[in-house]
Amino acid sequence: MDPQKKKSNLEAENKEKENVENKEDLNFLDSCYNTQWILQLNKQKEVKGMLCLLCQQIAKNAMELTCDEHENSNAALIVGEDCLVRYLQQNSNKCPVEQHDNCKQSKNKLVRQYVDDIVVMCPRQYQLDLKQDSDTTNGNEQTNPEAASENALTRICNFQGKIKDVKEHLQGSCQLMTLSCSFKPFGCQALLFKYNYDDHVRLQVESHLALVMNQFNLLQQKVQGSENNQSNLQMQKDDCQ
């Protein structure tokens, strides 16, 4: 395979990987919120009554079932908006509680406000903690040096904030956001995090300079080749005259 094409393919693969990883982190917030994530900084009793009755996670954009059939219910019937929409689409708009027709619902603003204000840790940090626990349980720290090194840096992002502020954090200040090196156009394929980006640039000055010089030399060769071609064409033209 042509080296330039191989390089372009590698760049595309790394860019796709970076985009996928960051998108997956945002997808973490797309539906009802992971209960275990919430409980890292909150007690079970503090989120009582916030569970989506369909998925048993913390309801995002809480809806309350207000069907006449449930008017004697002792507690509000809370469902996450996405879960409810999906359920109704798949079940001919039948109520998820008693399977009757004409399911009625309304926004529960009180629950929505409460959930939005719940304080949580960074979801990327939470997922990294889960990976560390899994690696430790499976004994991967002894057999996988790379995993052990990653686990040693577990507490990377110390964000603690309200759920409504998490998306902005993930897209801006999160130390675990994946980034491409600024020297990627010259051939550096390192896939970095925000927390180690500056260290990478500082430690790889020589290799980055070598990449720049390599690109410069390639450009010079192309220019020289073009000039030689033009010169040959001119000579052929002169010979014909």
pLDDT tens digits, one per residue of 156-165? 999 999 999 9
Tokens of 136: 């430790």
Confidence band of 77 (pLDDT split at 50, 70, 90): very high
Give the tens place of pLDDT for each residue, 183-229. Answer: 999 999 998 999 999 999 999 999 999 999 998 888 888 877 676 66
2: pLDDT strictly greater than 70: no
Q: What is the location of CATH 3.30.40.10 in the chain? A: 44-116
Tokens of 67: 């069907």
Phi, psi of 163 (to 5 degrees): -55, -40
Distance of alpha carbon 85 from the chain centroid: 24
Phi-psi region of 126 (alpha: psi -120 to 50; beta: other; left: phi over 0): alpha
CB 119 within 8 A of CB 41: yes
**167/8 Cα distance (integer angstroms):** 31
132: pLDDT strictly greater than 70: yes
Residue in this structure with the two tokens 């430690």, named with its chain if needed: 203
How many degrees, rounded to 5, is the angle at CA 163 between CA 44 and CA 109? 80
CB atoms within 10 A of CB 194: 16
Architecture of the CATH domain 44-116: 2-Layer Sandwich (3.30)
- The pTM score is 0.72
- Whole-angstrom CA distances from 218 to 156, 215, 221 are 40, 5, 5
For position 169, what pLDDT does the model report? 97
Considering only CA atoms, which of 69, 88, 91 is closest in space to residue 80? 88
Residues 6+ apart with CB under 8 A from 118: 38, 42, 47, 58, 162, 163
For position 145, what pLDDT does the model report? 46
Q: Which of 58-67, 95-104, 139-148 has the lowest mean pLDDT?
A: 139-148
146: pLDDT strictly greater than 60: no
